[in-house]
Amino acid sequence: MEEMKRLRLAVIGAGFWGRNHIRVLSEIPEAELVAVCDINRERAEIISKKYNIKAYADSRDLYRKEDFDAVTICVWSTNLYSKAMEALDAGKHVLVEKPMASSVNEAEKMLEAAESAGLHLTVGFIERFNPAVKRLKEAIKEGRIGRPVSATGKRVSKWPERIGDVGVVKDTAIHDIDLMRFIFEEDPITVYARAGRLRHKMFEDYAQVMLAFPDEKSAFLEANWLTPYKVRKLTVTGSEAIITVDYITQEIIIETSNQTLIPRYKWEEPLKLELQHFVNSILNNDKPIVTGLDGVKALKIAEAILESAEKHRLIELNL
């Protein structure tokens, strides 16, 4: 029997999300977890003992001493760029968590570096791997809602535990920015937004956004850190029906003029589907579902949202 090909990986960043990556990668048969790196050595060592992998506090040591193929990067937003560039320079395939970088300029440099080295660069837009979103896409493709006209994304919750280094637009709304491009399969042409700071001195903690797409289609996004409970919902309105998706429960509801359908499906962990796809796309040399260019475009839209909110005017997008 032919031996299964395995991809050797390291995880950079062992905070909440990095620990999730390590747990999931340890469950994927085609993945072989080699090491974890975190500036907090104690944190890296605790997790390395649990999963029987090497621990590093300095990523330069990791690249010098270990032999592996790919990394997932789960550090603070302001450090994503430097850690991703270091990995690409070391010849590693990269999955970088959203928002990919602090600025479009950084994101474009990452994309260039990956392309010139022939390496996979993908961004952690996990909702594309949410089974409910996949079903929504299938339903639209099958014509079950007629012609899609508008989509509304609501991603609100109370203040996050970790006070971040970017505001709600780049931290949270970026998922829905990417999803609107994914659902409509095209780029928005203009954006108008309102945003503000109620509880945070540095960054916006609420935003309402309208994205205009070609053919009179539009998307509305609401994101905040002010709502006392968590809502993660998406509604797509078509000429024949409406579909609503709950990202958390993965429930999908299809409503027509004469019936409401609530199909039942088994819940699946989006992170596992995302990381499995990352591993397979490298092993099979396939183009990933989320490309570095998707990350760059989402950041461009996010920056236009912030500019629109600041200038109180419509911004034309040139993606």
Using DSSP, state whether 70 is helix, strand or coil. Answer: strand
Q: In Å, how far from its chain's centre is CA 19? A: 17
**Helix pair 104-117, 292-311: axis angle to 10 deg:** 170
Domains of the chain listed by start with CATH number: 7-126+272-289 (3.40.50.720), 127-269+299-316 (3.30.360.10)
Count of residues making up the chain: 319
Task: Measure the CA–CA gap between 199 and 196, rounded to whole angstroms.
Answer: 9
Decide if 65 contacts 40 (C-beta within 8 A). Answer: no
pLDDT reported for residue 163: 60
Q: Tell me, what's the pLDDT at 159? A: 79
Cα 273 to Cα 126: distance, rounded to the nearest angstrom: 9
pLDDT for 167 equals: 93
Strand partners, 260: 255
| Residue linked to tokens 């007629």 | 146
d(CA 13, CA 40): 9
**Could you report the average pLDDT of every consecutive run of 10 residues in the chain (319 residues)?**
83 96 98 97 97 97 97 95 98 97 96 98 98 97 96 92 81 97 97 94 93 97 95 98 98 96 96 98 97 98 98 97
Tell which residue, 12, 4, 22, has the closest CA to residue 275.
22
Laid out side by side, the sheet with 121-123 consists of 54-56, 31-37, 7-12, 70-73, 93-96, 121-123
Contact 255, 241 (CB under 8 A): yes
Question: What does the pLDDT read at residue 165?
Answer: 81
